[in-house]
Amino acid sequence: MNILRLQGIDKKYSASEDYAVKDISFDVRKGEILALVGESGSGKTTLLRLISGLEHPDAGTIVLSENTLVSGNRSVPANERNVGMVFQDYALFPHLNLLENVQFGVRKTQGDPAEIARKTLQLVGLKENYSKYPHQLSGGQQQRVALARAIAPNPSILLMDEPFSNLDAMLKDQVREEIRQIIKRTGVTAIFVTHDTRDALSTADRVAILHKGYLQQLDSPKNLYENPANPYVANFFGRRNQVIATATEDGFYTSFGFIADERSRNFRNSVKLLFRPEEIKIKKSLKQALIGTVRQCAYFGDHQMVLLADESGKSIYVRASPTRYFVEGSEVFFTIRSFKVEEAF
Amino acid sequence: MTGTVLVLLLIATPIFTILFKLLDAPGETWTHLRDTLLIGYFTNTLFLLLGVAFFTFLLGVSTAWMVSNYRFPGRRYFEWLLILPLGFPGYIMAYTYTGMLDYSGPLQAFLRNTLDIQVVGSIVDIMNLPGAVFILSITLFPYVYLLSRASFLQQSRTLQEASALLGRNDWYTFRRIALPMARPAIVGGIALASMEVLNDYGTVKYFGVSTFTTGIFRSWFSLGDVTTAIYLAAILMLFVFGILLLESVQRGHRRFASNKSVSKPLVKRRLSARKSWMLTLSCSLLFFLSFVAPFLQILHWVGLTYQKTMDEAFFFLILRTFGLAAGTGALVAVVSVTLVYSLRLSPFKWLKNVSRIATLGYAIPGAVIAVGIMIPILGLDRWLRESLPAGAIGIVLSGTVYALIFAYMVRFLAVGYHPIDAGFQKIGIHVNEASRLLGKNSWKTLWKIDLPLIRAGFLSGILLVFVDVLKELPLTLILRPFNYQTLATKAFDMATNEMIAESANASLIIILTGIIPIVFLNRMIRRVNL
């Protein structure tokens, strides 16, 4: 069941600028976690603000749990939308203590606000003294309070703006998983914005990729990684190598050598071979392998990224084991485990 | 170093005088005054303080919220127009309103001639305690407006967005978020306005309201009783310290500044056409009452009387006042630079705390400073007279312009000190150290490096002191040499002698000069916030 539906959403901040978002349509299913991913300026934060009602679209409709929020000139104001939001800087009220912050949005008709606030704080696992003030808490604790404040009034949808960007790397992995757990436990539908693909892939059920205001692809993390709709999406999740080859009866001729592959029969002449750096396996001998020259090697602790060049200088990235020692200028033999073939135009 | 301490001690003279003189036994006048008038002084002063605090809060905070939060026709202009009433000294506002509401004034003339309504005098009688509250409120609300606007502008936009997304409307958000967060600024503004109320002499004197300030004048001039004046000054100082204490207690240790991250400024919201015109109307009405109407009245009076009043003597009066103000401004700036600079280079950290004395003067009412300075100077003169051979000059310091300038410096040192101190803090200490490591001594470094860098602060210090001296009344009235006039005392004397229309000429010059730094100040605040 869909809880949120966006249709043909356009937004321009000023007449002279490009569209911040253009012709965006998608559905969000009840209970799922959707990530909006893109570089800065891709329109992801704009989209979040349009859903929340802090901005109004120039065109399109937004429907949230069967209430039309936006249609034509009509737009339900932000304070009547029943939308929860966790801001990037948390936006905790500095003059209110934790309990007061969390019960701020709870109506008396929903029950005792203090009681609901206390329960929500327990749900997010905050064991601190609830009469403390925001500035007395660590960054991670502040984020829990912000999350508790957003879900305490039982919103139809929870929006999070860059929820992990203020956390340091060590804390991030742990918090990501915890927040996912909390969201799943409450059953609330959530949309979060991030520029970090790792956040998106590990936390979200589905991921929407935005680029220059346009929606590129919306799919599960696995599908996005394995079947990117276009080169932009493909490159978004790490590098993807592209090698020009000539198809023959029994395989592909590349500038790195010959690859035996039956798929070559389906193609004629020039093709593109597409594969990720981790698909390459380093070999000891040239037998049935390709050959390249080491140009650069960068060490990352758990792996090495090696740049291999052919004779003409065209290069590909190889993800190699950290234990192996590469000498610049030396030759390396390798095979490609799996790759995609596309017609080259 | 010793110089610094000496300057600080000199500046603290009036406070020491009052503390010291409190030890004297009270005379008969005091006993009499205590039994008869004191309770009136007390209730009047308190009523004035509370009334002005209430109305400046109401006017200042509401306009600041409108201007910083909503779009409405004319908003950009009201942003700085609403500061202009600060250019009106309270006493000039008092004369102007009295004239406007007079039998021959425009309001009654209009009612009588156009609508044929005869007004009973007392209906529009403004010369009383509530009238003084009204006059002081419309001249002093910009203090609250300025500080609370600055605070609203600093508040992060996301806090208000967070409140809206939690289902709360504008009014709830204002009450629960914006207002409590701006509280320190608002109370600061009200405290400033209260200091001005305690300092005021011209308005209450003209309206015949007896307060501690008028009491000091009465015992000093009419009764010639120094001790009584000192006692009253001491009580007035208790009010001042009370306000300062309240202000600092409420501020506490809490700082409601947003997180370290750069906060997004407020987005001005659109309103329906009807509502936005309502905002325009209410801002216009306030601006009309607090500036346009009185200013037009003054122009009208000037038009009637300038041929008679603006003669050669008046021209020299302007020159003399401007000279006095500019000279004081320059002196304050030089003393401030010397103080700040020697404190910066001083290895003694405690000196920095002692230096706060230097800026206390602004909180002390002018009349108190005047009395606190006059007494030691009179004593000094007596001593000089007795130790000098007979026939030498009788008056050395008392009743001279030097005593007056010294008193101005005590009162307005803070005004010049703050921009200069801020200037020094902005450039940091490293350029100074670099210069000294390159072989220039500290005075040469001050001259070559620091002074050129703090130029803006130095000039704004002079300008602000200049305008304050121009407007100053009570201190000048007590300390001025015999028959010595400034624009302010001239306006006061004329208005007191039933020559309101003529007094407008001096008033106009004071107001026009006073507007310059207001516009200048507003631009500085905008630059800080945007």
Candidates B468, B473, B464, B466; CA nearest to B519 is: B464
Domain boundary among A200, A216, A236: A236
CATH number for the domain harbouring residue A296: 2.40.50.140
Instruction: For residue A205, give how far its alpha carbon lies from the nearest alpha carbon of chain B (Å).
Output: 25
pLDDT digits (tens, 9 = 90+) for A20-64: 999 999 999 999 999 999 988 899 999 999 999 888 899 999 999
Q: What confidence score (pLDDT) does residue B329 get?
A: 92
Chain B contact probe: residue of A46, A69, A79, A167 with most B CBs at under 10 A: A79
Q: How confident is the model at residue A155 (pLDDT cuts 50, 70, 90)?
A: very high
Domain boundary among A236, A257, A281: A236
Lay out the sheet containing A257-260: strands in order across. Answer: A257-260, A251-254, A241-247, A270-275, A340-343
Nearest to A91 among B162, B169, B176 (CB): B162
More confident residue, B359 or A191: A191
Q: Of B105, B138, B106, B108, nearest to B123 (Cα)? A: B108
Rg of chain B in Å (alpha carbons): 25
pLDDT of residue B259: 43
pTM reported for the whole predicted model: 0.80
User: Position B305: which residue type?
Assistant: T
In this prediction, the residues of chain B whose per-residue pLDDT falls under 50 are 257-262, 529-530
CB contact under 8 Å between B261 and A79, yes or no, is no
Residues of chain A with Cβ-Cβ distance to B184 below 8 Å are none
Say if residues A272 and A242 touch (Cβ distance below 8 Å): yes
What is the DSSP code (8-state) at residue A163? T
For A81-90, A128-137, B359-368, which range has the lowest pLDDT when averaged over its residues? B359-368
Contacts of B180 in chain A (CB under 8 A): 95
Q: Residue A183 in contact with residue B197, Cβ under 8 Å?
A: no
Query: Which residues of chain B lie closer than 8 angstroms to A166, CB-CB?
Result: 261
> What residue spans of B252-311 are helical by DSSP H?
273-287, 293-309
pLDDT at B254: 56
Q: For residues A263 and A210, state if they share a domain.
A: no
Statement to judge: residues A169 and A296 lie in one domain: no
Q: What is the CATH number of the domain that holds A120?
A: 3.40.50.300
Q: Residue B525 has what pLDDT?
A: 57
Chain B residues touching residue A102 (CB < 8 angstroms): none
The answer to whether residue B177 neighbours chain A at the CB level (below 8 Å) is: yes
| Closest chain B residue to the Cα of A158, Cα to Cα | B165
Rounded Cα–Cα distance for residues A99 and A112 (Å): 12
A320-330 tens-digit pLDDT: 998 888 889 99
Same-domain pairing of A20 and A112: yes
A224 and A135, same structural domain?
A: yes
- Write the residue in A78, A79, A94 that is nearest to B258 by C-beta: A94
Report ipTM for this prediction. Answer: 0.74
Q: What's the pLDDT tens digit per position in B382-434?
A: 887 777 766 555 556 667 888 899 999 999 988 888 888 888 888 888 888 88
For residues A200-210, average pLDDT: 91
One domain for residues A260 and A230 = no
Which residues of chain A have a CB within 8 Å of the CB of B181?
93-95
- At A34 the pLDDT is 95
User: Any chain A CB within 8 A of the CB of B259?
Assistant: yes
Q: Which two tokens stand for residue B115?
A: 């609508």
Hey, is B460 helix, strand or coil? helix
Q: Are residues A73 and A176 in the same domain?
A: yes
Same domain, A42 and A191: yes
Instruction: Tell me the per-residue pLDDT of A95-114, one tens digit each, with 9 for 90 and over.
Output: 889 999 999 989 889 899 99
- To the nearest whole Å, the CA of B263 is away from the closest chain A CA by 9
| pLDDT given for residue B47 in this prediction | 93
Model pLDDT, residue B255:
53
If asked whether residues A232 and A308 sit together in one domain, one would say no
Asked whether residue A60 falls in the same domain as residue A196, the answer is yes
Helix axes B226-251, B13-21, angle to 10 degrees: 120
Domain identity same for A203 and A263: no
Per-residue confidence (pLDDT) for residue B524, from 0 to 100: 63
Long-range contacts: B270-274, Cβ < 8 Å, 24+?
B270/B70, B270/B71, B271/B70, B271/B71, B271/B72
Give the count of domains, chain A. Answer: 2
Q: What does the block give as tokens for B431?
A: 């350029």
Length of chain B: 530
Buried b / exposed e across A304-317, counting CB within 10 Å, b at 16+?
bebbbbbeeeebbb
What average pLDDT does this structure show over A197-223?
91
- Whether the CB of A94 is below 8 Å from some CB of chain B: the reply is yes
Asked whether the beta carbons of residue B156 and residue A77 sit closer than 8 angstroms, the reply is no
The tokens of A295 are what? 């140009």
Q: What would the two tokens of residue B472 be? A: 């100053």
Residue B388 three-state SS: coil
> Searching chain B, which residue's CA lies closest to the CA of residue A94?
B256
Interface test with B, best of A14, A48, A69, A95 (most B CBs within 10 A): A95
Q: Are residues A162 and A37 in the same domain?
A: yes
Token pair listed for A95: 């003059």
CA of B472 vs chain A CAs: smallest distance (Å): 40
pLDDT at A204 (0 to 100): 92
Task: Provide the residue range defining the domain that includes A337.
Answer: 241-343
| Cβ–Cβ gap B167/A153 under 8 Å | yes
- Beta-bridge mates of residue A308: A294, A316
Same domain, A95 and A122: yes
State whether B166 and A82 contact (CB < 8 Å).
no
Mean pLDDT for chain A overall: 89
B174 contact residues in A (CB cutoff 8 A): none
Cβ-count burial of B282 within 10 angstroms (0-12 exposed, 13-18 middle, 19+ buried)? middle
CA distance B41 to B39: 5
What pLDDT score does B448 carry?
83
Neighbours of B468 (CB within 10 A): 21
- What are the Cα distances from residue A72, in Å, to A13, B88, B149, B490? 17, 51, 36, 66
Q: Contacts of residue B158 in chain A, CB cutoff 8 Å?
A: 87, 89, 91
Domain final residue, candidates A220, A236, A252: A236
User: Is the CB of residue A165 less than 8 Å away from at least one CB of chain B?
Assistant: no
* B261 chain-A contacts, CB cut-off 8 A: 88-89, 166
Contact A118, A148 (CB under 8 A): no
